[in-house]
Chains A and B, each alone.
Chain A
Amino acid sequence: MVDLFTYPPVLKGFIVLIITGFAFPITGVYLLRMNLLPLRFMLMHGAILGGALSLAMSINPFGGTLVINLLLVLLMTWMSRSLKADPGQLSAFFMVVSISVAFIFIYRFQVPAKDTLSLMWGSLYTLNSFEFIGTLVFSLLLIIFQAQYRHQLRAVFFDSDVARTAGVNETGFYYGIILITAVTVAAAMKLIGALLLDALLLLPALIASYHAKSYKGMVLWSSFWGGLFATVGFLLSLAFDLPASSTIAVFAALVFLILILTQKK
């Protein structure tokens, strides 16, 4: 199995997966705390639209996914705040629109559906240098953001009104978190796909929320579980010749199940 690491795509995939495994669950904490789960669905569908558009225009799907997701979150956030519309309903609306437009593009530009659907399960071993470095840099920035603004984030997650009265720029952090979520989802789509990205994003945060005894503990435990799932899942996939993304997701789900079943009532 060690021999496999001599192949650059495998090594690159492993490195990026481990780093994101530790970093991306931080976004999971944000998603859980800000109740942004519907947003995540919208971004998954937005990523498919971005992928379809990129493939239709023969450009890098990673960049296209990123741009579409950023546009979607900005539009959704602006509409929800300025029109006082429900973010959940808006997310559902954009989700439907995104997937509809994506399929129109797939049909009209004869984009191979297989290529578009590869976004569903990710393509860890096909990372180019831009994607590799970009994902690592983003992961690093995410960790720095969390470390630098941990006090303000804690206030925003606790109560937005209390945060504002404590002098925290709640609106700024809200937009920041939304943008970070958009980038994280786009990057995670490339790594493990739309259908499985929750294994890296949400499951670690969800598990941590069951046993963490503080906000700090929740962030650290989420990061730990994400890193563990990524590492063990990846190694298992190599050992048993299984798809990396599915193995990670199954391993994470198993741990989640065990912890739920063994948790004290």
Chain B
Amino acid sequence: MEHSLVLFQNEKQIFFSDEHWLYPLFEVEQFLGERSISPNELFLRDKIAGKAAAALIVKLGIRNCFIELLSERAIPVFKKYGVNYSYQKLVDHIQCRTEDLITDKMTLEETYLFLRKRAGKVQGVSLKINSLSVDIAGKQILDNLELDLGRGEQLVVQGENGSGKTTLIRSILGLIPSINGSITIGEEVVGSSGWQKNRVQTGYLNQETIKNNFPITAAEVVAIGLSSQKLPETERAYRVELAMRKTGSFHLMSKLFHQLSGGEKQRVSLARCLCQNARLLLLDEPTSYLDEKGREELYELLVDLSKNEAPTMLLVSHDSNWTDRLKWQGKILKGGKLW
């Protein structure tokens, strides 16, 4: 076999890739996403497949495949999801760190998201905070705070009122001018010229406190995410519509923002962040002014977002009942440090 992966439709070759690791399968995902092809008509030939590749093949909906070098760890996955497989050579495992990291407890969805993150196929960007100290009006709010968040990871920071949660968010946003230490988003240090250019990669969902009755429609609020981009009006409208559809707020498009319920406002604000194509999403007490229905809506949106676009998300809240349901990793902000 010349190529590392070949895809056939009814015995006719329709795609091939010479990439390595799991990238050919992600290419197949993109290829199929742009076409309407029944997975039952597909046959995949791959050079090597372990547990990770097997999970991806299942996720792609492919039912028939031939693998030259197959790991025994892939077989239970194929069997569980009814994939017809054949192979040239079977080995007990393949030399791949990714395969070792996939545990039996992980569901197919979790495995898929994990693989996307490892492949850099998520929207998220890394966030690294080194020795961050912030002093406001002579009071030490953050004290040598450290944080390392990988691409597409989610973190809930809890803490009592006044513990510095909002200060942490505002520092990451670059809204506090004098800080000690460094905050790096992706490759850019907050405050640098590179960060200024890429500032839009950080989205901000604040407490629902915008109470003014400024006549602005929900669609106009979402379009704020594109404020600094030069785009044709048709493209702008398309991106706004897309973001609003993703967050289920499309029907609110022409409604006045200040007339929306708390939950609807957060839905629209999330659409603004998506429209902005934010890769790091900072959520500051997003449930503060939400009723039970609004809290439920926001929960569903965040779960959905963490599975699909998967931006890196940092949420600060003192509402532990609500954040516990997200099942994100959690830290406590106390004494200016994260624990």
Contact = CB atoms under 8 A, between A and B. Distances in A.
A199 to B, nearest CB: 21
Nearest to B223: A151
B171 interface: no
B184 to A, nearest CB: 17
B181 to A, nearest CB: 20
Interface residues of B, number: 28
B225 A166 contact: yes
A152 B228 contact: yes
B204 A162 contact: yes
Contact of A217 (B202, B215, B229): B215
Contacts of B225: 166
Contacts of A213: 215, 217, 254, 256
B220 A168 contact: no
A242 to B, nearest CB: 34
A167 B214 contact: no
A35 to B, nearest CB: 9
Interface in B56-92: none
B215 A166 contact: no
A22 to B, nearest CB: 19
A209 interface: yes
Contact of A166 (B174, B216, B220, B227): B227
A103 interface: no
Contacts of A164: 173-175, 199
Contacts of B214: 33, 157-158, 215
A165 B215 contact: no
A167 B256 contact: no
A158 B173 contact: no
B254 A166 contact: no
A214 interface: yes
Contacts of A167: 199-200, 227-229
A167 B276 CA distance: 10
Contacts of A168: 227-228
A159 B268 CA distance: 14
Interface residues of A, number: 24
Contacts, number: 80
A68 to B, nearest CB: 31
Nearest to B219: A214
A161 B204 contact: yes
Contacts of B272: 162, 166
Nearest to B204: A165
Contacts of A33: 214
Nearest to B278: A165
A88 to B, nearest CB: 17
B216 A151 contact: no
Interface in A131-165: 151-152, 154-155, 157-159, 161-165
B203 interface: yes
Given A158-B210, A165-B199, A215 B215 contact: yes
A209 B213 CA distance: 9
Nearest to A218: B215
B286 to A, nearest CB: 14
A216 B225 CA distance: 16
A165 B203 contact: yes
A209 B199 contact: no
Interface in A159-194: 159, 161-168
A42 to B, nearest CB: 23
B177 to A, nearest CB: 11
B221 interface: yes
Contacts of A232: none
B224 A214 contact: no
22 contacts: A152-B228, A155-B224, A157-B214, A157-B216, A158-B214, A158-B216, A159-B210, A163-B227, A164-B174, A165-B173, A165-B202, A165-B276, A166-B225, A166-B226, A167-B228, A167-B229, A209-B213, A214-B217, A214-B220, A214-B256, A215-B216, A216-B220
CB-CB nearest 7 A-B residue pairs: A167-B228, A155-B227, A165-B204, A167-B200, A212-B215, A155-B224, A214-B217
Given A163-B227, A215-B217, A217-B215, 12 more contacts: A33-B214, A151-B223, A151-B226, A152-B228, A158-B224, A159-B206, A162-B206, A163-B224, A165-B199, A166-B227, A167-B229, A168-B227
